[in-house]
Structure 1
Amino acid sequence: MLDPFFAPIPILVETVKPLCDYLSLKSLPLHIHEILFAFGFYHFIFEYLAPPISSFFLPKQYKRLSYESKLRWNMHCASMVQCCNITVLALWTIYSDNERRNMNLEERMWGYTGAAALVQALATGYFLFDLVVMVRYLDVFGLGMLAHASSCLVTYTLGFRPIFNYYGCVFMLYELSTIFLNFHWFFDKMGMTGSKPQLYNGITLIVVFFSCRLVWGAYSSFNIYRDVWNALHFDRSVKVGGTEEMMLFAGERSLPMWLVVMYMSGHVILQALNVFWFGKMIAAVKKRFVKAPQQNGIKKKV
């Protein structure tokens, strides 16, 4: 399926092509304009759109926030727009891209479609923006968020070799849970901690997080592990097939061990973090809505 975004800008393509060729990011020049667009779009929201809109619609809540909390608020605004956009686009691509749906092993590993690469490019642009913000405000967001932004950016950038282009949309569905996580944070800052809307959102957050990140994530990770295993034992002298257009950037169909180790270890760590975060999430919701037992009018610690 063709990339539905506007056509690449020739001067940008020619500018980045030598570096991309050197780094073996063969398909990146065709999507550099989308990466830069996404970066600029989310930077504009964070820097210039979220503050005045929040001040206008929520003057009391926003203005009483500390400097650090305002930065986090603005970041959550950008995150909310991103997770809504990218999940809709990923779902649309999964549903509409027939070429992607019918990919064989070779195509899932080294294949390329413009629509799937668009999802990858917009995600890369957001993670680039995320990294810049984390570096600028490291004292606010901390090393953990910096590491998260860095790893996501590296992972999605390396996808332009191309490698795992098929799975870019798959793992972007994790972002469905981020929508409700952002709402949960906003409720706290708006003085709605313990309210019914936060309760309903918290229940939805737990259900969606469990479904998207633990169930869907484990299933998708198993699929990518299986594909990598089969690709490592694949006889590249035998042509399985695949359309010429989808395999345009496949080249030698190489699968360096460092790339395998990085991707696989990253998925294992992320799945472990998802389990950890799920436990923390349940604890956070429980803390807000489950009252501690009392003895003689005194709350008992649990």
Structure 2
Amino acid sequence: MEVILNLPYEVKVIGASFTFFSVTCLYCSNFFFKDFQSYKNASEKTRKNWNVRFASTVHAVVMAIMTSVILINNLEFSHTNPIWGKPYGAVTTISVFIGYMLEDLLMISTYIWCGWKTGLPDIVHHVASVVVATSVLKYEYIYFITILRAWSECSTPFIHIRWFMMKSDMLDNKWYLWNGIAVTVLFFICRILIMPYLYVTNYLFYDQVKTLGYLQLLIVMGMAMDYLNLTWFYKILSILFAYIKNPKRE
């Protein structure tokens, strides 16, 4: 116990986050949905996927609240010190984020592994996120930018709600369409619309960025994440327009 208490604050939060979301995935999801007809009738593979998505939804709600509060209370960092500024609560938020990413990485690579073709993009995304977030905590830089990127989780609950509704045969429900619109709007605002700011900031504050040395390469990882987000947004738009055109085909 003394060893645990003497661990760095960030490590304790990461461990607590990993444990919490592991329990949420493996036990809480089944507890909440065990009497839900679509969950009971689903295959074991689908129920596992359901459990992972439930944990992801809980994490996304937590991240949406924590990052929104930080961004609202520290907007001055967006134009005064986005590279070295350290908003209050950023360390805790990023540590929670890392803990969840490690938990989800474990789940998608073992618990619901579906092969490299399906799992590789998620693994690349998670590994890149953990590497960048861990470097932020270690070298204490780009806190504001990292929180802004984590704010993208605001769109995640609606992505999972769409999947839950599909598995519950609710494609004809009007809320399925409205949820699809919400996914598209939030994904655009939280993941696509912030891209110009991120790249303009790197340009305007390049004098500070270049002092990071080889750590500048970690910022480049953000470009890979942006590519994935653009790809996913294209798919979201395609699905939405296809559904509007012919709801029965999706």
Correspondence for 2:237: 282
- Normalized per residue, the structure richer in helix is 2
Aligned in 2, Cα 1:185/1:226: closer, same or farther, shift over 3 Å?
Answer: farther
Please state whether the residue corresponding to 1:139 is helix, strand or coil: coil
Q: Does structure 2 conserve the Cα–Cα contact (< 8 Å) formed by 1:206 and 1:281? A: yes
Correspondence for 2:107: 133
Q: CA deviation at 1:14?
A: 4.0
Cα distance in 1, alignment partners of residues 5 and 72 from structure 2 = 29
Q: Does structure 2 conserve the Cα–Cα contact (< 8 Å) formed by 1:47 and 1:74? A: yes
* Cα shift readout 1:71-99 (whole Å, capped 9, x = no counterpart): 111111111111111111111112235xx
Correspondence for 2:171: 193
Q: Which runs of 5+ in 1 are unaligned?
A: 1-8, 16-28, 234-253, 293-300
Letter of the 1:263 counterpart: I
Please state whether the residue corresponding to 1:65 is helix, strand or coil: coil
Correspondence for 2:126: 149
Q: Does structure 2 conserve the Cα–Cα contact (< 8 Å) formed by 1:35 and 1:125? A: yes
Q: Does structure 2 conserve the Cα–Cα contact (< 8 Å) formed by 1:194 and 1:288? A: no
Q: Which TM-score applies when normalising by structure 2?
A: 0.87
Correspondence for 2:23: 44
Which structure's CA Rg is the greater one? 1
Q: CA deviation at 1:104?
A: 7.7
Please state whether the residue corresponding to 2:170 is helix, strand or coil: coil
Q: Which runs of 5+ in 2 are unaligned?
A: none
* Cα shift readout 1:41-93 (whole Å, capped 9, x = no counterpart): 1111101100121112x1x2001212221111111111111111111111111
Letter of the 2:133 counterpart: Y
From 204, 209, 219, the equivalent of 1:263 is 219
Correspondence for 1:248: none
Aligned in 2, Cα 1:37/1:64: closer, same or farther, shift over 3 Å?
Answer: same
Cα distance in 2, alignment partners of residues 218 and 267 from structure 1 = 12
Cα distance in 1, alignment partners of residues 5 and 204 from structure 2 = 35
Aligned in 2, Cα 1:184/1:51: closer, same or farther, shift over 3 Å?
Answer: same
Q: Does 1:77 align with 2:34?
A: no
Cα distance in 1, alignment partners of residues 203 and 26 from structure 2 = 40
Correspondence for 1:18: none
Correspondence for 2:94: 120
Cα distance in 1, alignment partners of residues 4 and 196 from structure 2 = 38
* Cα shift readout 1:215-249 (whole Å, capped 9, x = no counterpart): 1233234324533x22145xxxxxxxxxxxxxxxx
Cα distance in 1, alignment partners of residues 186 and 42 from structure 2 = 29
Which segments of structure 1 move beyond 6 Å, counting only runs of 4 or more?
none
Cα distance in 2, alignment partners of residues 279 and 84 from structure 1 = 24
Q: Does structure 2 conserve the Cα–Cα contact (< 8 Å) formed by 1:174 and 1:217? A: no
Instruction: State the percentage of identical aligned residues.
Output: 22
From 4, 11, 32, the equivalent of 1:12 is 4
Q: Does structure 1 conserve the Cα–Cα contact (< 8 Å) formed by 2:57 and 2:156? A: yes
Q: Which TM-score applies when normalising by structure 1?
A: 0.73
Cα distance in 2, alignment partners of residues 102 and 279 from structure 1 = 31
Aligned pairs, number: 245
Aligned in 2, Cα 1:226/1:132: closer, same or farther, shift over 3 Å?
Answer: farther
